[in-house]
Amino acid sequence: MLGLAKYLPEFGWEPIILTAPLEKAPPPRFRIIETAYPGDIFSFWRKVFCSAGLNGSESITEQIKANFGITKRKSLLEALRTMYQEVFGYPDTDKRWFAPARKAASVLLEKEHVDTMISVWPITAHIVACNLKRRFSLPWVVDFPDPWSQNHNYPYGPIRRYFDQRLERKTLAGADIFTAATPEYALKQESFLKRKTYAITHGFDPEQVNQGTPLLRNKFTVTYTGTIYIGKQTPEKLFAAVSRLLAEKAVDSSDFEVRFYGQHQGWLDSLARQHGVEDIVCQYGRVSRSESIQKQRESHLVLLLNWEDQAERGVYPLKFFEYLAARRPILAAGGHHGDDIEKIIEDLKSGFYAATVEEIETELAKAYREYKEQGTLKYKADIARLDNYSYRQTAGKFAEIMEQVVKKNG
């Protein structure tokens, strides 16, 4: 939303963002209303575990697993957490934000004229918007960065899904227009809601595009930033390919590194050991977004772990757009050929799509060989076409949608 709001004024719109308190205030280019926030459904337990000595800024679950030596990707602890969330986190874990968000929005709308509203995230935001639509007859655009009950990463059972589906249909019945972050999400929502849904992808900030000659690290570096969705993404094929390259002496372990930035995962270290690549696979923990972007820019390859579910070929991780802005070759590893990410990478010539261990091995070997022969790895993307995925383009498309909604509502 910050990226969208930044460029909406170029299209004649004055954005106002309603949000829970932000950790860091963005530059004052647009208006932000920060509400009170009572905390999510885990707040109480977070305090309990912090009082017992755990670090509140890190994942409580991962710290408990580390203390008990649990290295499995899925464990009883995650199952219990999901069960708690399934029962008490309906409709979502931020449900206690409803009252302060509705109050702050109502105060604004009673005093000022607003032409339209967009509800984005969390699910509670859609419920707040539904309430405001009924009270103020305000034109309403619903955006799906991810689907609601039709989510590709839906973690709950059929009973919870039934209630989510029923609430979604009831809540969104009064919306004027739907948008979704990928073409597949749009089709999915159209099928479920029986309403036209427009695909408007996320993007990158054109002011944060990597410019000039990159200062790359002095060893061949593959970098992944962000979350790995267990059961949906895995670096196992990558590790297997790197293991083969090491065995064939096609790469030198002294100048080859695979880096992960994000929440430390015990299972990732265990997986690296299983493939004998623990000496070159390193987890560096969580870093700020600005530092994460810097780590991408100094890498020879940035790693994208493709979605492994064949039924989901339209998942666009947000980091994909950050990688485009970093202007470093993307290694999209795993998954299955024919998905949307492969089409974009081929269209932009922004990297390599390698679904199998053999394909990953081949692409890594070629990239490493170029690095050894030329001392670098060139970026060969079509720079002119990259702008099609900027937030400026996204803002222009949303502006057209909002003009349509305002005109429809007279």
> Which residue segment(s) compose the domain that 354 sits in?
209-388
Tens digit of each residue's pLDDT (9 = 90 or more) over 103-140: 999 999 999 999 999 999 999 999 999 999 999 999 99
The answer on 268 and 189 residing in a single domain is no
| pLDDT score for 51 | 86
Q: Determine whether 34 is exposed, middle or buried from the number of CB atoms within 10 Å of its CB (0-12, 13-18, 19+).
A: middle
Same domain, residue pair 384 and 259? yes
What's the predicted TM-score (pTM) here?
0.89
- Same domain flag for 190 and 232: no
Whether residue 31 is found in the same domain as residue 68: no
Length of the chain: 410
Same domain, 9 and 115: yes
* HEC per residue, 118-148: EECCCHHHHHHHHHHHHHHCCCEEEEECCCC
pLDDT tens column, 274-327: 999 999 999 999 999 889 999 999 999 999 999 888 777 778 888 899 999 999
Give the domain-ending residue among 88, 120, 154: 88
**CA-to-CA distance for 187 and 79, rounded, in angstroms?**
31
Computed over every residue of the chain, the mean pLDDT equals 92
The burial class, CB within 10 Å (0-12 / 13-18 / 19+), for 304 is buried
Residues 282 and 373 in one domain: yes
Number of H helices, E strands in the chain: 16, 12
Number of folded domains that form the chain: 3
pLDDT average, residue stretch 333-351? 92
Are residues 241 and 98 part of one domain? no
Report whether pLDDT(273) > 90: yes
30-34, 94-98, 203-207, 212-216, range with the lowest pLDDT? 212-216
